[in-house]
Amino acid sequence: MKFVIPFSPVTKKNSQQICINRKTGKRFISQSEQYNAYERASCLALNGSYRKNIDFPINLAATFFMPTQWRVDLVNLIEALQDVLVKAGVLADDNSSIVVSTDGSRVALDRRNPRTEVEITPL
């Protein structure tokens, strides 16, 4: 199965913020608005035809086309992608018994059209 997420990839770990619970006054770590917007838009882009709830071993190969040449952590991008795929219903879970490998994943540059191209192949 191949599909494209037509938005600039955002890492999950490098975009966290410290918030304060209004009721208790305790601090907690939350994802940034930038990541939350990316997650919402990506879930909407993955319409019903991709919601397979995959629960068998797969290889997840992704090419992340970034808008700038800033160095990014591929592992963080893959982790954010897996979380989006679970939330969108494409994957049942992102544990190691389902996503067995991420061979073929890489980062590329495309200033005009940043996106994520994903290929899921069963093992």
What is this structure's pTM?
0.85
CATH of the domain at 97: 3.30.1330.70
Task: Give 84-101 pLDDT, tens digit per residue.
Answer: 999 999 999 988 899 999
Number of domains in the chain: 1
pLDDT digits (tens, 9 = 90+) for 27-49: 988 777 888 888 899 988 887 77
* Helices (runs of H) and strands (runs of E) counted in the chain: 2, 7
Q: How far apart are CA 48 and CA 90, in angstroms?
A: 9
Q: 15: pLDDT confidence band, cut at 50, 70 and 90? A: low
Cβ neighbours of residue 96 closer than 8 Å, sequence gap 6 or more: none
Q: Which residues pair with 59 in a beta bridge?
A: 101, 121
Task: Give the structural domain span for 73.
Answer: 2-122
